[in-house]
Structure 1
Amino acid sequence: MIGDFEVKDEDLAGRIGYLTTAHGKLETPAFFPVINPLRNDLSINDILNTGIKNIITNAFILKKRDYIKDTIHKDLRLDNDIIVMMDSGGYQILQYGNVNITNSEIIKYQSKIKADIGVFLDVPTGDVENKHEALRTVEITMKRGEEAANLIRELDNKDTLWVHPIQGGKFLDLIEYSAKKANSLEEFSMLALGSPTVIMEKYNYDLLIDMIFAARANISRGKPLHLFGGGVPHIIPFAVAMGIDSFDSASYILYARDGRYLTRNRTYKIEDLEYFPCSCPVCTKYTPKELMEMDEDEQTRLLSLHNLYKILEEIKETKLAIKEGRLFEYLQEKAFSHPAVYSAFQNLLKYSLYLEKYDPRVKGEVKGIFLFDQYSMIRPEIVRYHQYMRKYKQSSDMAVIICGDFLEPPFISNEFIKDILVKYSNSADVFIAFPYYGLIPVTLSESFPLSQFEKPTNVPNYVYIETSNLINDIISKTKKYRKVILEMCENSKLHIMSISS
């Protein structure tokens, strides 16, 4: 059924899913390149030859120029497996303040040309500083959403899937307000967070994380969430991890017109490059010098194509991380690409309980997790384990904690640990003190993820500090153990208190 959304894989709050449209199933996370049939920077065929099966174009511009006479697929000569999304003209409102078209007209037009995914004429908040002005855009958008819902029910075309934009700009309470209202309208199978473009241009990625959370936490998990204007590769996995399912942008073309070359981690000016750090069809055929010597139109076309390949590559890498259950590790890797991205990662960590809530307990084939620094202690598997240990049901009134920096799994095979188990047989709860995890009951030490991990040879000192604080907090809050005994097999950087009655 049109609008059905089926989730196949999950990691953190991100997922791989399939959204049913009139022209096939859209696999998410997905990127919709913005196309303008009235310009020839990069042809539709060039875009589709990258293997992409979904595009977005502007309904307001097409209607204004009376460009589509029949349906969008027929007039653009698109195959039946190409999914077409529409933007309504909201971006033009953001740029020029108004457009000479009504909400009703733009909805009926998208229905008439049989867009697969349609958007009503919202009013973007942008980066306005005045909250009253931001509220005005939210209220107009919500009013138009109700108007759209009434009109959608009356349309003969039931094959268009409709999107309700969420506005509010940097005012998170307004985003929450807008999201709840949009989510309540059943005519909209998909929601979209608007107004991030200017915020992203200013590299305010930490604010973007807050905006995504404000929207995603207040809508149904069964509805995909689109991010308007999200076309920068290095922030894509962070947005996906917070719950974004699809993106659109003209960044690949806009950057190319300005001579900017995208990689998955940063942006270069083409004149600053001596080599292309890429193996896409453009970069394997030409050198930076050869591109610089071309006429402007051809240079823009080829640079646009390369930029698009990089965005699609990032989408695929993010999907692979979800499939393997390594999205958190991938975010750690990406975090060091730019200070603004690092800020986004740090901000994302304050939502660790939210990420843990949606992170699946079982992720198919069990694979070991990678542990790096203190931030690894905030990944869902570790957070979940810490929560478990705070509620651990003891079987004795005495605890024995085995310490040693060189203890490694499988713990149960360690001779020192075996001797301790014999020594305190049935008289104490025996734990291993271990960085990142805190206390590991020996009887559970083979369970995932207590033995299935890789860590650095030299664990950062801050991890030992955090782990020591965690263990001591648990010990100090328990009133049931009358005695806690420390058994040292080697020197340990963990500083743990003992309790003796």
Structure 2
Amino acid sequence: MPDFGFDLLGTDGQARRGRVTTAHGTIETPAFMPVGTAATVKAMFPEDVAKTGAEIVLGNTYHLMLRPTAERIAELGGLHKFMNWSKPILTDSGGYQVMSLTELRKLTEEGVRFRSHIDGSYHMLTPERSTEIQHLLGSTITMAFDECTPYPCTKEEAEKSMELSMRWAVRSRDAFVKREGYGQFGIVQGSVHEDLRLRSIEALNGIDFEGYAVGGLAVGEGQELMFSTLDFTTPAMKTDKPRYLMGVGKPTDLVGAVARGIDMFDCVLPTRSGRNAQAFTRRGPVNMKNARHATDHRPLDEECPCPACTQYSRAYLHHLIKAGEILGMMLLSWHNIQYYQQLMQGMRDAIEAGSFEDFQAAFLEEYNGGDIAPL
């Protein structure tokens, strides 16, 4: 079995082209991970997710520990077998979900005691328990347990939160069971403050994880502030380990973050948008509820190889959405994940060719140019 590793294959400015090697296969970076919160990418068959080019998906500790429980998944052979996905799986630690339960949780140095949103039962999530759950699931990449700093917050609050996350990072690492082909990522916190981010990076570097994530962004600060935070964060991060920006984002976010040295992403946006009639295309987002599509026989995007674009018209997709048919949600979800994977492939090719700056300019011009005119 191969050891967990990261090869930096090339750079173009700050943009990086790499490859992550794991027990469950390789991940070409920059990479986008479709989100499979409850052991499924919503409205998608696992084999169809793989057909889009996705090489890794994300699962969620919080949701899986409550239902069906990590212990049951372990008894059934682990998360890969349970959800019929043989490629790598990254599981987030549950910290973000628990922190969002403001009225249902109590935060202490030990961890977080919270009430289940499902049945009101009480649970305790600590760095040790989060790491244990992810081990039971058989996660290829385990995330350290952290507190996701909210935005806005005072600098004092951000500092206190970051320091707690760094103490939890040590405990998460101590609880991690090292084995060939599996890795654990630490999470950089510090809100939008340069000195706090740099202190967080220094603390995590001392722990020596297999990879490093940037957390606490895409939580309401806006794209401009997210980019400016990355501008001083990623240059301080290790170059020989993968860098993962959590919970991001829109296509323009992905391209801008790759330009700033990020390797991996996850976001619910492609599938959530697909279930809500929004399609992402190279000409920008398209709302398939709009009446202008009702008689349009053209494909959603003539250059997209997904079934929604190659087998059906805009008029049919519009009809499915208006009729509330599940197939409409399935097709738009597939299309959006396909679009995201094509975007990542385009960035990988551009970095290899040394033309990322031109790629970014052309992408933004077309994406911001608007959809094709109605018939």
Q: Tell me the TM-score range normalised by the shorter chain.
A: 0.7 to 0.9
TM-score by length of 2: 0.82
CA distance in 2, matches of 1:49, 1:143: 40
Of 115-124 and 260-269, more deviation after overlay is shown by 260-269
Residues 362-413 of structure 1: per-residue CA shift (max 9 Å, x gap):
xxxxxxxxxxxxxxxxxxxxxxxxxxxxxxxxxxxxxxxxxxxxxxxxxxxx
- The 5 Å alignment of 1:124-163 reads 124-152=148-176, 155=177, 157=179, 159-163=181-185
Structure 2 CA distance for partners of 1:38 and 1:189, relative to 1, 3 Å: closer
Rounded Cα–Cα distance in structure 2 between residues aligned with 1:40 and 1:25? 24
Match of 1:113 in 2: 137
User: 1:213 maps to what in 2?
Assistant: 231
Matched, 1:172 2:194: yes
Match of 1:5? 6
1:181, distance to aligned residue in structure 2 (A): 1.4
Counterpart in the other structure of 2:56: 54
Q: Given the alignment, which residue of 289, 294, 299 partners 2:328? A: 299
- 1:312 aligns to what? 341
Q: 2:371 maps to what in 1?
A: none
Contact 1:233–1:264 (Cα < 8 Å) also in 2: no
CA spacing shift, 1:287–1:94, aligned 2, 3 Å: farther
**Deviations 1:216-253 (Å, cap 9, x if unpaired)?**
12221111110111232223222112110111111111
Distance of aligned partners of 1:136 and 1:43 in 2 relative to their CA distance in 1, 3 Å threshold: farther
Is the 1:116–1:160 contact (alpha carbons within 8 Å) kept by the matching residues of 2?
Answer: yes
Aligned residue for 1:9, secondary structure, equals strand
Alignment of 1:240-279 (within 5 A): 240-272=258-290, 274=293, 275=298, 276-278=300-302, 279=304
Q: Distance in 2 between matches of 1:39 and 1:337?
A: 29
Give the whole-Å Cα distance in 2 for the aligned partners of 1:115 and 1:38.
Answer: 14
| SS across alignment from 1:262 | strand
Measured in 2, the distance between the counterparts of 1:228 and 1:134 equals 18
Matches of residues 35-74 of structure 1 in structure 2 within 5 Å? Answer: 35=36, 36-37=38-39, 40-65=42-67, 66=69, 68=73, 69=75, 70-74=77-81
Q: Distance in 1 between matches of 2:248 and 2:256?
A: 11
Matched, 1:322 2:355: no
Q: Does 1:84 align with 2:105?
A: no
Higher RCO (CA < 8 A, seq sep 6+): 2
Q: Which residue number corresponds to residue 102 of structure 1?
A: 126
RMSD: 2.2
What SS does the corresponding residue of 1:320 show, helix, strand or coil?
A: helix
Indicate conservation of the 8 Å contact 2:3/2:181, yes or no: yes
Equivalent residue pairs, number = 331
- Which stretch shifts more, 218-227 or 230-239? 230-239
Quote the residue 2:215 is aligned against.
194
In the alignment, the residues of structure 2 paired with residue 321 and residue 93 of structure 1 have an alpha-carbon distance, to the nearest angstrom, of 39
Q: Is the 8 A contact 1:233 1:310 kept in 2?
A: no
Residue 40 (structure 1) shift? 4.7
Deviation at 1:289, TM superposition (A): 2.5
Aligned residue type for 1:23: H
Aligned-partner SS, 1:198: coil
User: Which aligned pairs between 1:431-470 and structure 2 lie closer than 5 A?
Assistant: none
Shift of 1:104: 0.9
Asked if 2 retains the 8 angstrom alpha-carbon contact of 1:114 and 1:157, the reply is no
Deviations 1:160-186 (CA, angstroms, capped at 9, x unpaired): 200101112222322222122112212
Supply the distance in 2 between the matched residues of 1:284 and 1:173 (Cα, whole angstroms).
Answer: 50
CA deviation string 1:328-369 (max 9, x = no partner):
122222344678xxxxxxxxxxxxxxxxxxxxxxxxxxxxxx
SS of the equivalent of 2:212 reads strand
CA deviation map 1:35-73 (0-9, x unaligned): 133675223232123232211110221121125133122
Secondary structure, aligned partner of 1:317: helix
Deviations 1:412-453 (A, max 9, x none): xxxxxxxxxxxxxxxxxxxxxxxxxxxxxxxxxxxxxxxxxx
Bigger shift: 273-282 or 22-31? 273-282
Computing the radius of gyration from Cα coordinates, the structure with the larger value is 1
Letter in 2 for 1:160: Y
Q: How far apart are the structure 2 equivalents of 1:261 and 1:123?
A: 32
Taking structure 1 as the reference length, the TM-score comes to 0.62
Tell me if structure 2 keeps the 8 A contact 1:318–1:327: yes
Correspondence for 2:25:
24
User: Contact 1:230/1:236 (CA < 8 Å) preserved in 2?
Assistant: yes
In the alignment, what sits opposite 1:430? none
Q: C-alpha separation between the residues in 1 aligned to 2:367 and 2:201?
A: 30
Percent sequence identity over matched residues? 25
* Structure 1: unaligned runs, 5 residues or longer: 340-501
Give, in whole Å, the separation in 2 of the partners of 1:338 and 1:19.
Answer: 29
- Return the offset for 1:299: 1.5
C-alpha separation between the residues in 2 aligned to 1:30 and 1:300?
Answer: 24
Mapping of residues 395-406 of structure 1, within 5 Å: none
In the TM superposition, residue 146 of structure 1 has moved relative to its aligned partner by 0.9
